[in-house]
Every structure is written in structure tokens, then in C-alpha cells.
Structure 1
Amino acid sequence: MATLLRIDSSPMGAASVSRHMSETFVESWKKAHPGGTVVTRDLTKSGLVSINAEWVAAAYTPAESRTAEQKAALATSDELLAEIDAADELAIGVSMHNFNIPSVLKLWVDQVVRVNRAFSYADGKPKGLLMGKKATFLVATGGAYGPGSGMESLNFIEPYLKTLFGFVGFGDVVFHTAGGAMALNYGADRAEFLQPHDEAVAALAAAHA
């Protein structure tokens, strides 16, 4: 049976547009994958911390030579990578923070984009090791940063994540962005705003059947 890993990174709880879209994706995905498994990871509740020198040293030490302390340093990374390994696809909710991804999502990235687990340079060239998986990014931005907009050059989310996930081996990376979400703070009707995004996100999930 197929497995979907849902990851949320917005701190806004029920008010979050990206979380709403990830929930919509899950609902449609379940219909397209009867009996499938959904694993949920809320990064705002995962207690992730920055990597440090000990983490880096452990990552570059061959697994069979790691000390107990080094294994402990990589325990969270191992757990997060195991979730990716077990998943056929990922659905990641992303809210724009200062033109880029939330800090908790960057902490997750640093834990999983790990040498000899997510990528290698065994032949002198970078090679992604997380092959054969799909990733759908459900992005919410306060302003409008889409193609052709005056703010397009300030959107670093899509180029960053597309480059990063391609680097580690994902061959199928899709984005759906709900731009202009700030309007909800100024009285825009939430259901009306979300309706076209619900339809688009549901179609994306169904297309992955």
C-alpha cells in the first residue's frame, strides 16, 4: 500500500492556509489510495534543533565506526530520514516567511539532507539517494509572488526547494501556491479565497493515484 508523509511548517494552527491545503491534499489522496497510510509530521511540535559540529562529525563518520555519542547525535536525523524512506510521496505545507521557508522547515532540511544518506559524492559527483519519490509543496504567501508579478524575484521558496529536492533525488516535484493570503486578514471571505485552491490541490492529489 502507498504511504504519504504529510509535513506542516506553519505556526498559525487552524488559521494557516498551507495547513488547510495539506489537509485537503490528504483527504483527496486517501480517496485515491484506499488503504493507504498517512504519516503526519508537525515541525512546529517536533522540537528540532540546529545541527552542530558534533552532528557534522557523526554524519561523516562511517556508520560502523560511530560512537554511542555520535549515534545519539544523529538519532533525530535517522528518525526523520526513516519517515522519508518509508514514504512514496511527500506533501509539505509551506508558509512564506521573509521571502523563504519557515525556520522549522530549514531545521528539518538540515537534518535530512545528510551526506551518504540523502546524497553522496562517491564517484566525485553529487548523486541523490532519495530516488523514486514525489513531493508536492503547498505554499501560502501573504502577497502575490507568482510568475509575471512585480514581486516574483523575491520568492525564494520555489527555486530553493526545487533545487534542494532535485539534488537529493526527487524526480517529481510539484508546487501549488495560494498567493495573496494576507487578504484574509483584511476581511476577505475565507471560503471564497480557498475554493479554487481546494479544487487545484485535490486534483493534484488525485493525479498521483
Structure 2
Amino acid sequence: MPTLLRIDSSASGDNSKSRQLANEFVEKWLAKKPEGKVVSRDVTANPLPHFTGETLGALFTPEADRSPEQKAIAAIGDELIEELEAADIVIVSAPMYNFGIPSTLKAYFDYIARAGRTFEYTETGPVGLVNKDAYVFAASGSFLADTPADHQVPHIQTFLGFIGLNVKNTFVAGGQALGEPGEEAFNKAKANIAEAV
């Protein structure tokens, strides 16, 4: 049974354009793979604790030496990484907040980036260990894609590549605060999804 892991991060719920694009992809994917399973991880509805000194201390302490509190902290990342490893395909939907990604999505990225598990250090630099395909769905209030002000899509693509996810396609709906141009961008992104699945 193929498994799709979807990561949603918009605080706008069902009104989220990035989430709506992800919905479109999932609908088309299930139509082609009716036996498929979708696992949803909404990092806004169920936010993760942000990284602190205690978090890093727990992760850098050998497993056998961890206190009960440190074991509980490490278990958060363990669960997320196991969920990621069990998936066959990964999709990430994200809005742009103040030129970047939501802090809830950044927290998720922080927990799944683990040396020796999702990436490893080598003499030639870090190498990702999660060998799966991924798709990205992004929305923003204005048209900032491919400009120096876009710290949203490049951040997501860079991180996913860092842990070994192969970003097959990225669908961007810019201009969502601008009325008709935003509607056109959203509809174009939806049409591109239909062709890509």
C-alpha cells in the first residue's frame, strides 16, 4: 500500500490556499492510487515545541544516559522520523509569513533533521538519507517567487534536499492578497497539479 505523508503548516485552516493546493494533489493521487494511504501531519493544529537548550541537550546525550525528561524530548523526533521513513511520497504545504515559512514548519524541520538518521556528515559535506520524492505547495500574498525576498520556497526546497528528499515539483500561488491576479495564479497552479500527478 503506497503511503503519502502530507505536512500542512498554514494557520488559515480550510481557507489556506497552500492547503487547498495540497488537497488537489491528494485527490488526484488517490484517484490514481485508490489503495493509497494518506498520513496527515498538521504542524499548526498540533504544534511542536520549539528547540531549546534542553532539546539539544537531550539529542546530544547518548541514548543510554538520557534522563526520563530527555527521553521524552527525543521521542518527539523519533516519532516524526519514523513517520517520514514509512512514507513513499511526501508533500509539504506552506504559506509565506513575513518572507519566510511558518515557525511551526521550521520546528518540524528541526526535529526531523538528525545526523545519522535523516542525513550524515561526509568528507565532501552532508548527504541526505531519506530517499523519497516530494512535492511542495506554496502560497503568498504578493508575487515574490524567484526574487531576493523569497525565503519561503528556497528554504523548503533546500531543507528537503538536505535530508535526501527529491523535490519533483513545486506549485506556487502568489498574489493571494491581490484579487484577480492571485485567483489566476491559484487556478494556474491547480491546473499544473492535474498535469503533474
Q: TM-score, normalised by structure 2?
A: 0.89
Q: 1:61 to 1:125 in 2, by over 3 A?
A: farther
Q: Equivalences for 1:1-209 in 2 at 5 Å?
A: 1-121=1-121, 125-131=125-131, 133-147=132-146, 152-184=147-179, 188=180, 194-204=186-196, 206=197
Name stretches of at least 5 consecutive residues in structure 2 with no aligned partner: none
Give the alignment's Cα RMSD to 1 decimal. Answer: 2.2
> Post-superposition shift, 1:203?
2.4
Residue type of the partner of 2:140? T
Q: Distance in 1 between matches of 2:183 and 2:21?
A: 12
> Helix, strand or coil: the match of 2:117?
coil
Residue type of the partner of 2:193? V
Verify the 8 A CA contact 1:135 1:170 in the aligned structure 2: yes
Verify the 8 A CA contact 1:60 1:115 in the aligned structure 2: no
Q: TM-score, normalised by structure 1?
A: 0.85
Verify the 8 A CA contact 2:141 2:175 in the aligned structure 1: yes
> Post-superposition shift, 1:156?
1.3
> Helix, strand or coil: the match of 2:177?
helix
> Helix, strand or coil: the match of 1:126?
strand
Q: 1:65 to 1:142 in 2, by over 3 A?
A: same
> Post-superposition shift, 1:114?
1.9
Q: Distance in 2 between matches of 1:193 and 1:105?
A: 24
The number of residues matched between the two structures is 197
> Post-superposition shift, 1:11?
0.7
Name stretches of at least 5 consecutive residues in structure 1 with no aligned partner: none
More strand, by proportion: 2
Q: 1:125 to 1:196 in 2, by over 3 A?
A: closer
